Structure 1
Amino acid sequence: MAIRQPVVSVLGHVDHGKTKLLDRIRGTAVGDREAGAITQHIGATEVPIGRIYEMCGSIIGSKKFTVPGLLFIDTPGHQAFTSLRARGGSLADLAVLVIDIREGLMPQTIESIHILRQYKTPFVIALNKVDTIEGWNSTADRPFVLSEKDQQAHTKEVFEQHMYEIISQLSSNGVFADRYDRIDDFTKAVALIPISAKTGEGVPDLMLMLIGLAQRFLETRLTKEEGPGKGTVLEVKEVKGLGQTLDMILYSGTLKTGATVAIGTRGAPLVTRIKAILKPKPLDEIRDPRDRFDNVKELHAAAGVKIAVQDATGVIAGAPIRVVKNAKDPSIQEITEETSIKIETEEKGITIKADAIGSLEALAYEAKAAGIPIRKYGIGEITRRDVLESSYGNDTHHVILGFNVSTSKDAEAEIATHSIKVMTNNIVYALIDDYKLWLDESTRQNESDKRVEFAFPAKITILPDHIFRVNKPAVVGVRVLAGRIRVGENLIDREGKDCGTIKSVRDDDGNVLKEGVQGDEVSVAIEGVTVGRQINENDVLYVDMIESGYKEVQKVELTDDEKLALSDTVAIKRRTEPFWGM
């Protein structure tokens, strides 16, 4: 049975060489019009198997493949990856994770690893910029396994050091990888292919690995399905002379001019008709910039193509597109299910927004993994309504996380009024980390505020030989055994008897302190007691608490010593009031 080309996506950190690698792949056959030349699609680059045989001739031997080639999505990066979906998963059948050999794993590298795991997409690693290794002798477009043999011993040693440092970093992030020519079982290790997107070194090895993995592990997935076309929208564009057009990847079946299609939108699926199917002309055939396309009647998967449609209202990037018989076709229900956002919400939680369905689900996935409750979600910019609806509940839920989205002007005007925390980022896990940091700081601040508002559990002992004044007020030296003491707090002894009110707290030099904390030895002035009567040396005293304050304190994180002091205080209070604090 015939199989189609696998769709390949390229991911990695900014400036690590994603775009340059795609440019190199496209550029290997510029001006080459013979059969097997690379074909430029809309939003994708097709590398046919014949061209791969030519590129890999010196390392491929007599090996032959049934996979007809590779179709690279032209838009690199994890944002494109998450927004382009098919069959409920990623549009990509395979992925290339590009890592700069000098810089190693960076934030977007780790983000990409998270996303590839989430979508269960098989991937290889392109270890880029080997040409920057000190002393590296470059030969354009040469396979790495041959290029490495020409390097000096010291250069090889430096290369190996860099490579194994990155292998170690990958291992720390749960990815077991090794150089591709040192792997015996590709089900147990991720292939790492050293390349230079600048010189083309290692690119043949990369192509061979991708085609080999597709042949061995993806044959069932890649089996060509005859029948109605299925695809994914890359972009919605208005084109002069054509009207509304959709750039799309056709990954299954056949597309024909005049066919009725159903397309996913933010609402119900849109049913419309294809007016034209357009493929880009080869670069050397373009004579007039306004005449860039060939009009084709029929197209088979897999391919990148532009279609002109009668209506594209509400269509978004990543939306599924299906050829249907009519407006009652069962495929329309499939689209409804595929575009329905499957995110668990809770009665109390934060708001999340993202630029596309896939990226929204990626953000929700990471939020759930981090234990962050979600109350509301949506696609598109952060609006005034989002801000107003986020103002309900407790302060830690007055938060909006935005992935790759902006904030509307009327929303910005409401943010300060309603004390809403808005965080945006184009890295999902960095956004989650930002929220965690903010939550920790906010929690600490809230606890600090409550410690001022309510008497907190505290335990002190009066130091021997530190009686400075007997009464009016009594001034004694104390050690704070747990918690903290402040001016205005009342003290009790182990029997629950009143032991006065703290009027001042000072250090050894007589400086007035805001508070005395656990471990401090300070002098305190206590109004309402006389040393030798109500208090004595070595006495253990507790900060008195009111019942409402006790209930608030239970909501705050306490140290182990504070918990013991609180337990003692509760036991003391319940001697006279058995149901105190219940």
Structure 2
Amino acid sequence: MDIATVKKLILPATLTVAELAERLGVSGPQVIKYLMTNGVAAALNQAVDFETAALAADHFGFEAESEDAAVEAAVEATGVAGQPGRARHPLLDLSGEDPATLVPRPPVAAVLGHVDHGKTSLLDVIRKTRVAAGEAGGITQSIGAYQVMHKGRPITFIDTPGHEAFTAMRARGADVTDIAILVVAADDGVMPQTEEAIQHARGAGVPIVVAVNKIDKDGANPDRVLQQLADRGLVSEQYGGDTQVVRTSAKSGDGLDDLLENILVTADILVQPKANPKRAAVGTVIDSHLERGRGPIATVLVQNGTLKVGDNIVAGAVFGKVRALLDDSGRKVQGAGPSTPVVVTGLSDVVVAGEVLHVTDTERAARTLAEQRALAQKQRQVQPVRHISLASLEAHAAEGETKTLNLVLKAEANGSLEALRGQIAKLGDDPAVKIKVVGEGVGAVSESDVNLAKVSDAIVIGFNVRPDDRARAAADDLGVDVRYYDVVYHVTEDIEKAVKGMYEPRMVEVFQGRAEVRRVFTVDGKNAIAGSHVLDGKITRNAVCKVLRDGAEVAHSRIEALKRFKDDVREVVKDYDCGITLADFNEFQEGDVIEAYVVEQQNL
């Protein structure tokens, strides 16, 4: 086959023969005939796995790549100059579309900023509704998406509870926003959450438009805000930079037309958003919950194609058929085009926010794909994917490659953060590694920090701080390397050793919990299940463990499966029963004690 004729084709984990034929641009019988010559008997509406589809793709002149691999590759890709790459989900990537089919679509803007700086009130005035008045403490109660008109052109706004939700969606591969609107109160100025919002917007690689809000409030000092923003790299045009800054008041409505105008201008110049409204729909789930009388519903932002009533859809491990579509005013519609937010009913379950929703040819194909993803999700929980780490940095250094090391820094106080930043800056001259701080702050390592590290492909460095439970769980799920230190020079020492190929992580087993084996079960020759009662602490899936018999260690293994009754669970706490299966040990006896440990760094 002539290499020059090979075209890239991104395929899901499973798809029907009819869908495969459509993507290959050949007839269904042609694909069926090829599959039969290779011993695979499948009808048009039957599903085949990625490996089988990849063989067929190769036969018809395509080079197949899995969706998961394409997402990982997108994370590594560079985006706008000076900004981290935007990890586009393959289904949202327009590079494979015929340029002739692409038409301009409305820009999508996310509103970010510090709590109580007027994000929701500002959007409320723009939408001319009373959403903000019904919210407790100014906190957005649910994620919504709304569309407004300015000079005959629509603009879609995403109103999130904060930059954490914004980045959490990106951590799952969603690429929703074209522009970030950073709201800063003119009286308060730049606050800690403002700085985090700037970091998260930069991590998304999207242009930032600043709204200096509450300009009519006592104590307002917009010029001080402009200086604070300039100190953080957002230099306004007034100061000779290129950041669009608009002075607004949600109370009086001043500056709102200018803000909308700046959004459109920024979109036209820097983004130029386009889509193909005539193809099958692809979008992102902004919010999802269970509603009495309607079942699971989801707020979806359609990003390409047109979503219609009756379409078969799949989002993550959830599938369904669109029963009804409601626009942001609650009115029923028959279809929704690009950049249009709609509420979707007809799903089999609640969807995780940030999952990409797309249309399939048949309900069976949607169900099969959802089941395949659910299985893959369970496998990833057992063996989470690891992203950048000091160990992988060492491998790149050993191969003579220059590696960019992105860091998220957290410390217990500003003084410590300054010291940590200063030490890391000293490594900037090393030709083997380029170090970039993509986020920093004071306080414990949070789930938001982990999500930022995931989308930026960064390592989290905690100095004299520890993670909360949600951050630890997120790090495990997303495969983010989170490291803790109490001596500043140990941070640079470990990075230097990794660069020189001498890095050895210092690890120690920390006691987590203890369980007593009460009964032993064996099923169809599979690994034995130890029916156990947790005596102390907690037992978690994937924990390192020791099996003790009469006080002596008889096995050292890992907890491969953990169940409560018939359900797989993440952890079981004291005074509860559970079933424990180990990776490489079956010889349990009643009365054995299983001690669980987590492996952590020694230099905590």
Compute the TM-score of the two structures, normalised by the length of structure 2: 0.45
Instruction: From the two aligned structures, give the one with the greater strand fraction.
Output: 2
Q: For the pair shown, which has the larger CA radius of gyration, 1 or 2? A: 1
Q: TM-score, normalised by structure 1?
A: 0.47
